[in-house]
Copies of this chain bind each other. A is one copy, B any other.
Amino acid sequence: MRIRLTVAYDGTNYHGWQKQTNAITVEEVLTMALRELLGEEVELAGASRTDAGVHALGNVAVFDTATSIPPGKIAVAVNRRLPEDIRVMRSEQVSSSFHPRYAESRKTYEYTITNAEIQPPTKRLYSYFVYIPLDMGRMRRAAQYLVGEHDFGGFCSAGSQVMSTIRTIYDIKVWEDGEDIRIRITGNGFLYNMVRIIAGTLIEAGMGRREPETVWQAVEQADRSLAGPTAPANGLTLIGIQYVNEEK
């Protein structure tokens, strides 16, 4: 049977999700814990290959197993074999045709900025510190140019191999939460570094270093040099993935 896991992690100490040589990744640690628990080979397929340092509340992965452990109990059982900075929040059986990367979905990411004179130390791992005051109105105006179906080739780092750079952003919210600013983006998929480049671009608008309208040029011309810098990984969290053809 095919099992779907909802996986949360603190990305601080990992080189991202995807397995690689000579670096510890979430996928590798989780695969080893599942193999130990189930006593069989396990091949994980993940939904989102988050970068080094990026956090997740709800990444999704599937694997096939012949285990007799009830699907809903796998989460608690595997958590006993995982380090504290990785937790399986939920486990459930899904159709054997379900693939978390190819099934139609809405992904939601949140980027957190601490906008204060001095960064409180307990926030340093989970938000990007910006001491220049950010203008929320300018950030929101800049964000509106990104909503909709567009060619986001200008908001993508080199090194990704994708068939198309067209994606749909359904919603971007920018709001204040105490001294933090949160940017929450929901879309049907994201290119390599796309959320972090959007965050970097909105921060430039908020600082007054670019006019909000220039974001439209970066979209229209699909030119990476017209968008802002890639904001640091620690501010980014994958909130969750909703699969479109499922009741949730």
Q: Is the CB of B79 within 8 A of A118?
A: yes
Residues of the B chain whose Cβ atoms lie less than 8 Å from the Cβ of A124: 10, 84-85
> Considering the chains assembled together, what is the distance between the CA atoms of A86 and B89 in angstroms?
32
What 1/0 mask marks residues of chain A from 80 to 95 whose CB sits below 8 Å from any chain B CB?
Answer: 0000111111000000
Q: Which of A58-107 contact B (CB under 8 A)?
A: 75-76, 79, 84-89
Please state the number of chain copies in the assembly. Answer: 2
CB distance from A138 to the nearest CB of B (A): 26
A31 adjacent to chain B (CB < 8 Å): no
11 A-B pairs, CB-CB below 8 angstroms? A8-B121, A10-B121, A55-B121, A75-B118, A84-B119, A84-B121, A85-B124, A87-B118, A88-B118, A89-B118, A122-B237
The 8 A-B pairs with the shortest beta carbon distances in the complex, nearest first, are A10-B121, A85-B121, A10-B122, A8-B120, A84-B124, A87-B121, A89-B118, A9-B121
